[in-house]
Amino acid sequence: MPDVRDSFRNVAGRYSRSTFHSSSALLQEVLDLTRPKPGDLVLDVATGTGNTALALAPHVRRVVGLDLTREMLNEARRVAAERNVVNVDWVIGDAARLPFPDDAFDIYVVRAAPHHFTDIDAFLREAHRVLKRDHDASFIDCAPPMPARDVLHEVEVRRDPSHVMSLTVDEWVGRLEKAGFEVETAEARELAWNFEEWMDNQDIAPKLRSELAQVIDEAMGEAREQLHPEWRDGKLWHAYWHALIRAHKR
């Protein structure tokens, strides 16, 4: 399995500026889902360049942003310093082996990352372990419906070999319940997705970019109806979905 750090160490700056990752409207979505309070201690897993952690920081006591990739955390530190955010700690670590005690955090959040995780069940067990009892965890990740997932999966793994699998919302619910969570809310949110910006995040070469656009543009049947690809001013747009989930630990 490719090392996820190889996919991100050379493009960290792109993710701190990425439309999806840094969008104020989509970060408000995180705040609405997590419902932070001033005294909360938050764990943001796979924080990347810290977009989620930095959005939560003004609303809580402290945030811990954890990621495997040192270069992504270095970019997060740079942005935090630029914005004078002082209540975030940046920690190198693995979502499936968290370096924290049991029942440590008031909020657990992970965004746009679990599709890279090789052991979903281990990651969810760890999320459940470090979250305090009677508190909530929030999960946001790509979650296309079938059969669009099959089309997007081909694009995802060729764009970024560290991609493992995007779970559907129903699959998410099943895995979360297996880990001991009670799912409070779980829905799929569809966005109009700018293919070129998506490719830019990983600095995809023109030839591969063209091939991947063709995979989406030539989707057939129900997958095409779901993706509804269209060209606007010479650029490909299509549907893309994320699961928005809040789950409770008793």
Per-residue pLDDT tens over the stretch 106-144: 999 999 999 999 999 999 999 999 999 999 999 999 999
CB 76 within 8 A of CB 50: yes
Q: Please state, in angstroms and rounded to a whole number, the distance separating the CA atoms of residues 183 and 246.
A: 6
Residue 34 has pLDDT above 90, yes or no: yes
Could you give phi then psi for residue 98, rounded to 5 degrees? -75, 135
CA angle 102, 106, 108 (to 5 degrees): 80
pTM comes to 0.94
Domains of the chain (ranges; CATH) run 4-144+161-191+242-249 (3.40.50.150)
Residue 134 exposure: Cα atoms within 13 Å on the Cβ side: 0
The mean of the pLDDT values for the chain is 95
CB 101 within 8 A of CB 76: no
> Using one digit for the tens of pLDDT, what is the confidence trace for 83-94?
999 999 999 999
The predicted structure's pLDDT at residue 205: 97
> Using one digit for the tens of pLDDT, what is the confidence trace for 187-207?
999 999 999 999 999 999 999
Which one is predicted more confidently, 12 or 246?
246
Those residues with Cβ within 8 angstroms of residue 42's Cβ, 6 or more apart along the chain or in another chain: 34, 36, 53, 56, 60, 62, 63, 64, 105, 106, 107, 108, 109
β-sheet bridge partners, residue 154: none
